[in-house]
Chain A
Amino acid sequence: MNPITRKHLSRRAVLRGLSASIALPALDAMRPAFASTPAPASPTRLAFAYVPNGVTLADWTPKGTGTGFQLGRILKPLEPFRDDLLVLSGLAQKNGNALGDGPGDHARAGAAYLTGVHPRKTAGADIHNGISVDQIVARHFADETRFESIELGCEESRTVGNCDSGYSCAYTNSISWRTATTPMPPEMNPRMAFERLFGADDLNLTPEERARRARRRRSVLDVVAVRAKELTGSVGPEDRRKVDEYLTAIRDVERQIQRAEKDGREVVPNIEKPSGVPATFAEYVKLMYELQVVAFQADLTRVSTMMVGREGSLQAYPEIGVPDSHHPLTHHRAQPELVEKVTLINTFHVELFAHLLERLKATPDGDGTLLDHTVVLYGSGLSDGDRHTHEDLPLLLAGRGAGIRPGRHVVYPAETPMTNLFVTLLDRMGIPAETIGDSTGRIGQLTEA
């Protein structure tokens, strides 16, 4: 299942080709189209997969360190990818702690996970978090790909009412934050995610008509940007914040239209357009992972975030024998039968994650596979969901992007800020960032034993 990019072949020809064969070699036939993309070597991609409510740490943490580690029960489904894993123990997001703000650990865990910032406790009036690491990277590569980043999620249900102890639902709905006040809402519908990436809406139009519409959209954006600028001068400070946010978004979309025009490739996805949310959770999650693979492969974006569930998720998993809601289960007070169910959910999530690794590894990219040029961070913003602990988070990196040397289990000193990992990763990707959130420096052992 490969997307194919081209400049020279007609789309019909490509489609005909596809219907005849969707096997991997088809990709090589298209190599010239790839060769015309500016990146000389395969670029590094960065993906974040988030699971809510912590894990059963005893069943997560591998036995032994270094290369001689043994995967525990939860990570067992990743055994085939053992050599591509770098399991990280000991990292913490201390800004997820109460720090005087009382309960709300789930909201804080989700909000702080990629920002390292202590989110302001508010039901809405003055939401304030920090910029998330995926968005720092997205901005850095902004001009290189059609989409700066993609944000996906697999908890379709609407949130109703308040989310966690006096925190606005904005904190649990998004792990990705464009700015301290603008969360990036994840796309929960695979069809919509597909249409955004591949513009399926426009496929009926002639290239001329599409170009004309892009031109018209640009002139529309010009007009409204002028209007927004006028407004910023004449409204009060709170409204100005909203208008500024709007104006920033306008500029982002303008740039995106420009990039799409400059790119000029037509990307024909080699997966069928999803009709909506699949019936089973497993199919749903796999499809969302698949879309990330396809987007990376066609170099439509370099950065993705994926929320398998929202922090505090109430999802039930009857298909694996856990009909109970996830969140209340995690408050198991060490009762074995409840802990067991939590472990089952954790393991199920990892099984689905294995699908992503499998697909990345099966996809050729440059001189190797996509997994060789990708870094995936998988984990949760809580370690023990029962006690709401924010230290020794369950985290692992997969892939060899950014020069990571996987195949090991590394234990860092207790309470090492997770943001130190981010700063180090950004170093490896050539992105200058002195500090992120509460970072205090770099961490070692990512690229060497």
Chain B
Amino acid sequence: MAAVVLAAARLLAAEPAAAAAPTATFDGHIRPFLVQRCHVCHNGVVRNADLDLQRFATPETILTEPETWEKVVQRLKTRVMPPPELPQPSAEEVHAVTGWIEGLFDEAERRAPADPGRVTARRLNRTEYNNTLRDLLAVDLMPADDFPQDDTGYGFDNIGDVLSVSPILLEKYVGAAEKVARAAVFGRAAPKPSMTKYQPPLAKIEPCSDVKTDYDTTGLSLPNAIHVVHRFPVEAEYQFRVVMTGSRPLGSAPVEIGLFIDDRQVEVLPLDLEGGATFDRFRQDLSGRTREFRARVPAGDHQVALSVLRLYEGLPPSYEGPNPTRRPPPPPPAFEPPPGLPEDRLAAFRKRYEMRLLELAPVNEARVRHVEIVGPFEPRTGPSPASLAKVFVCGHKPGKHKPACGPKIVESLARRAYRRPVTAADTDPLLALVTQARRQGEPFEEAITLALQAVLVSPDFLFRIERGGEATDGGPGRPLTPHELASRLSYFLWSTMPDDELLGLADRGRLGEPEVLQAQVARMLADPRASALVESFGGQWLQFRALESVAPDRERFPLFEDGLRLAMRRETEMFLDSVVREDRSILDLLDARYTFLNERLAAHYGIEGVKGPQFRRVDLADGRRGGVLTHGSVLTVSSYATRTSPVLRGKWILENLLNAPPPDPPAGIPRLDESTVGASGSLRQQLEAHRTNATCAACHVKMDPLGFALENYDAVGAWRDKDGKWEIDPSGKLPDGQTFAGAHDLKSVLRADQAAFAEAVTGKLLTYALGRGLERSDRRTVRDIAARIAPSDYRFGALVLEIVRSLPFQRRRGEAQKT
């Protein structure tokens, strides 16, 4: 296994952290153990599992194969080996042997020469590609949306080794280069209007005739609205065709429908239902009624919401709602018995009619069913001044560019696109393209566009290749060139190319100066582009990116809808953003006393006093919420569609917050069966039964209690005291003996082991920063960084700075150096 599990968090160690028996020696203890317990099946002749342990006759030979021995240790610790049918060693024996092996590697690690590790040329991933074009050419086309998904490794989609170039991707690069280059120089071709229909699953509304006075009058927090995120291809006019459903009491004033874009009310249109077609003469019927909005929207992702405004206003006075309608009450529907109704049934029919006249209709049903977004219309045409300025650096008027400027333009484009100084070897072939096109009679602008197309398909643009500089200063590997450092910084913190300030500092050779570097990191974290860190790093580390594709069971979670889904994501993004911007301690991620809520999410959490659709910072008092573990986003993505899974959540905590992923379950052992809850006992009882199996217990004794602590939160993160008929018991005990009464306690336990959590976060952020999986040689770096930021109370800015200053970030293994 290439991935190296960093030192498991101490609190989860299966035994007290006492060191292995110091007296154990290889010849006296370890080798006899191996001979007696292992060699019989794993020798030069019988190589079960393709493993020959006999070869390892000295500690030195053991050190040559750390991966093999990591597996051996894992198999011993989990008591998978020796197999149950053979005589079993005592716990002390196993402890002594595994402790000795681990000690051997720890010691070797301390003595090993520092190694910056191997970083493979990184292809821009989809996010980076879009962002880079935005900054390189001021083009907001986002062509990478049409590229195939990037594969992920080590939990992230920016890993050089994993980002491959398939023929289809290259085909898309070629097409995108043409599209983007033409858009920058000539303006983008107006796309034909197209229609996208959004018909999200709706939350269930229980019909009710009681009016409310204290509610969100924008309607955005009510299930009557719909919320979608739409990607607008270009700045233009768009049409929003909304289709309604539900009913209103007869005689109500027209409903008002509001269009909101990014939480801003853009337009309100009334819809008068009186006298309209209806299946039910006693109600106003909204089914199928439509309204069309039109609005100009900038390119990019925007949140679109359509709602019924002031839902409980404009009702007939008999409903006693606020601001009732002044419409004269309509005549009651006439009594119209079906013709030929027998006399004896007529009385009953009349009685029902009279009852209906007195009955109050539901007042909360009017809602938006779906929306169609059509466009673009009247898109901005012609090249944008910003794009022209990025390309035509000589600054002439469009159409009047001087051919003499060709070399200057090409040089500037290549330098910025390749993110480094360029030489004639870089620019000559591009200039040859310009000349060739000119010779074929193409206008100057077309010729420049061709060179730009080549720049955008060039490997120097698509990949971040670090190949400059061979000189070594005696340290391990070689220091990065200033431009390589600039790119590492900008793609780490911004997911885009270095800006002029970074490139300028690199040009002058000053970026590596400690004060300059520190100031730049601070500047970059304060820049709006740092939101990429929240979305790309945060979204993958905490996995809230997966929210967009979860599909909680509609029967069990009837109130889950897209407004809630978006709100959950927003909460976690804003929370992470606050940690970044306010330079807070990363420990706050575990148990902050605040979060960000709007009315919809607050209602979901059962938190009172948050009114209206706007997100705002909310102080948390009751201990039920606080920290990412209690965010709806995290709780939902770590559940199945129909139910929670303590195992899944426990594993989630071990992997993402403690960087101590549980070892893989032994092959052939059936998955734990969590699905029969309620049949023969609570989920907890059943899981505990499972743990009587020693092999399972070895890992589940760590995973399950963590997950059980979160059982008060259901599969979409709402609070609950019971699961079906079973009372929830969130208490637990960790292998080291610490106990907790529930989620709140668990967070304190986790927070108490600050170093473990800090190392886990460091490991994740370092993986993301380097774009490679961490290796054994990185353990030291991770520990050092975590230790260094302790005095600053683990502030996020300090963590980023220490990563940026670390050996693997600053240097690279020499090209000739062997792995």
With the chains together, A422 CA to B710 CA distance in Å? 49
Contact indicator B152/A386 (Cβ below 8 Å): no
- Could you tell me which B residues sit within 8 Å of A by CB distance? 1-3, 49-51, 118, 120-121, 123, 146, 148-149, 151-155, 159-162, 164-171, 174-175, 177-178, 189, 194-197, 199, 425, 429-430, 432-433, 436-437, 450, 453-454, 457-460, 462-463, 465, 467, 539-540, 543, 545-546, 548-549, 551, 553-556, 637, 640-642, 645, 655, 664-667, 670-671, 673, 675-676, 772-773, 815-816
Please tell me if A63 contacts chain B, counting CB pairs below 8 Å: no
With the chains together, A245 CA to B462 CA distance in Å? 13
Contact indicator A223/B430 (Cβ below 8 Å): yes
A236: chain B residues within 8 A (beta carbon): 815-816
Contact indicator A184/B433 (Cβ below 8 Å): no
Contact indicator B171/A196 (Cβ below 8 Å): yes
- A318 in contact with B170 given A170-B151, A220-B454, A226-B429 (CB within 8 Å): no
CB nearest neighbor in B for A205 = B189
Partner of A124, one of B118, B161, B462, B545: B161
With the chains together, A188 CA to B454 CA distance in Å? 28
A159: chain B residues within 8 A (beta carbon): 149, 152
CB nearest neighbor in A for B637 = A160
Q: What size tier do the contact residues of chain A reach?
A: 35 or more
Interface residues of A in 318-366 (CB under 8 A from B): 318, 323-325, 328, 331-333, 335, 338
Partner of B548, one of A157, A250, A276, A331: A157
Interface residues of A in 92-119 (CB under 8 A from B): 98-100, 102-104
Contact indicator A221/B167 (Cβ below 8 Å): no
B450: chain A residues within 8 A (beta carbon): 216, 219-220
Partner of A223, one of B454, B548, B676: B454
Which segment of A175-183, A282-290, A411-419 sits at the interface? Answer: A175-183
Contact indicator B3/A103 (Cβ below 8 Å): no
Please tell me if A53 contacts chain B, counting CB pairs below 8 Å: no
Please tell me if A204 contacts chain B, counting CB pairs below 8 Å: yes
Which segment of A161-169, A301-309, A367-375 sits at the interface? Answer: A161-169
Contact indicator A185/B151 (Cβ below 8 Å): yes
Contact indicator B815/A235 (Cβ below 8 Å): yes
Beyond the given pairs A173-B149, A316-B553, A318-B554, 15 more chain A to chain B contacts, judged by CB atoms under 8 angstroms and listed by A's residue number, are: A123-B2, A124-B159, A125-B161, A127-B162, A160-B152, A182-B164, A216-B453, A220-B177, A223-B432, A224-B459, A238-B161, A249-B165, A316-B641, A328-B645, A338-B675
With the chains together, A170 CA to B152 CA distance in Å? 7
- A122 in contact with B166 given A201-B175, A316-B553 (CB within 8 Å): no
Please tell me if A126 contacts chain B, counting CB pairs below 8 Å: yes
A122: chain B residues within 8 A (beta carbon): 1-3, 153
- A228 in contact with B459 given A183-B151, A238-B120 (CB within 8 Å): yes
A253: chain B residues within 8 A (beta carbon): 167, 170-171, 174
Contact indicator A104/B773 (Cβ below 8 Å): no
Chain B nearest Cβ from A75, distance in angstroms: 27
Q: Which of A184, A196, A246 has the most CB of B within 10 A?
A: A246
Q: Identify the 3 closest CB pairs spanning chains A and B, nearest first.
A: A124-B153, A157-B549, A185-B148
Contact indicator A183/B146 (Cβ below 8 Å): no
B432: chain A residues within 8 A (beta carbon): 223
Contact indicator A162/B152 (Cβ below 8 Å): yes
Chain A nearest Cβ from B3, distance in angstroms: 5
Contact indicator A161/B546 (Cβ below 8 Å): yes
**Contact bitstring A185-229, B, C-beta under 8 A = 1, else 0:** 111110010001000010010000000010011011101101110
Contact indicator A242/B463 (Cβ below 8 Å): yes
Chain A nearest Cβ from B700, distance in angstroms: 15
Contact indicator B152/A324 (Cβ below 8 Å): no
Interface residues of A in 52-70 (CB under 8 A from B): none
Please tell me if A16 contacts chain B, counting CB pairs below 8 Å: no
A243: chain B residues within 8 A (beta carbon): 121, 459, 463, 465
Chain B nearest Cβ from A336, distance in angstroms: 12
With the chains together, A275 CA to B230 CA distance in Å? 13
- A386 in contact with B670 given A220-B177, A224-B458 (CB within 8 Å): yes
Contact indicator A151/B454 (Cβ below 8 Å): no
With the chains together, A170 CA to B815 CA distance in Å? 27
B178: chain A residues within 8 A (beta carbon): 213, 216-217
A28: chain B residues within 8 A (beta carbon): none
Partner of B670, one of A99, A189, A314, A331: A331
Partner of B149, one of A158, A249, A386: A158
Contact indicator B457/A221 (Cβ below 8 Å): yes
| 25 pairs from A and B in contact (CB 8 Å cutoff) | A103-B664, A124-B159, A156-B549, A158-B149, A158-B545, A158-B548, A160-B546, A161-B152, A165-B664, A170-B153, A173-B151, A185-B151, A186-B148, A187-B148, A188-B149, A189-B146, A220-B433, A223-B430, A224-B454, A238-B121, A242-B123, A242-B160, A243-B463, A275-B194, A324-B553
Partner of A220, one of B161, B164, B174, B666: B174
Contact indicator B543/A161 (Cβ below 8 Å): yes
With the chains together, A217 CA to B673 CA distance in Å? 56
Chain A nearest Cβ from B405, distance in angstroms: 20
Please tell me if A35 contacts chain B, counting CB pairs below 8 Å: no
Contact indicator A168/B151 (Cβ below 8 Å): yes
With the chains together, A216 CA to B448 CA distance in Å? 12
A143: chain B residues within 8 A (beta carbon): none
Chain B nearest Cβ from A316, distance in angstroms: 4
- A323 in contact with B670 given A169-B152, A275-B196 (CB within 8 Å): no
Please tell me if A234 contacts chain B, counting CB pairs below 8 Å: yes
CB nearest neighbor in B for A148 = B167
- A183 in contact with B164 given A123-B154, A316-B641 (CB within 8 Å): yes
B168: chain A residues within 8 A (beta carbon): 151, 184-185, 187, 196
CB nearest neighbor in A for B673 = A333
Contact indicator B120/A123 (Cβ below 8 Å): no
CB nearest neighbor in A for B432 = A223
Contact indicator B159/A231 (Cβ below 8 Å): no
CB nearest neighbor in A for B671 = A331
Chain B nearest Cβ from A251, distance in angstroms: 9
CB nearest neighbor in B for A195 = B146
Contact indicator A168/B152 (Cβ below 8 Å): yes
B149: chain A residues within 8 A (beta carbon): 158-159, 173, 185, 188
CB nearest neighbor in B for A323 = B553
Please tell me if A256 contacts chain B, counting CB pairs below 8 Å: yes
CB nearest neighbor in A for B545 = A160
Contact indicator A325/B154 (Cβ below 8 Å): no
Partner of A103, one of B49, B462, B665: B665
With the chains together, A324 CA to B640 CA distance in Å? 7
Contact indicator B120/A387 (Cβ below 8 Å): no
Chain A nearest Cβ from B5, distance in angstroms: 10
Chain A nearest Cβ from B83, distance in angstroms: 15
Chain B nearest Cβ from A132, distance in angstroms: 12
With the chains together, A396 CA to B320 CA distance in Å? 67
Partner of A239, one of B121, B162, B548: B121
B2: chain A residues within 8 A (beta carbon): 122-126
Contact indicator B153/A242 (Cβ below 8 Å): no
With the chains together, A201 CA to B1 CA distance in Å? 45
Partner of A279, one of B197, B555, B676: B197
Chain B nearest Cβ from A198, distance in angstroms: 14
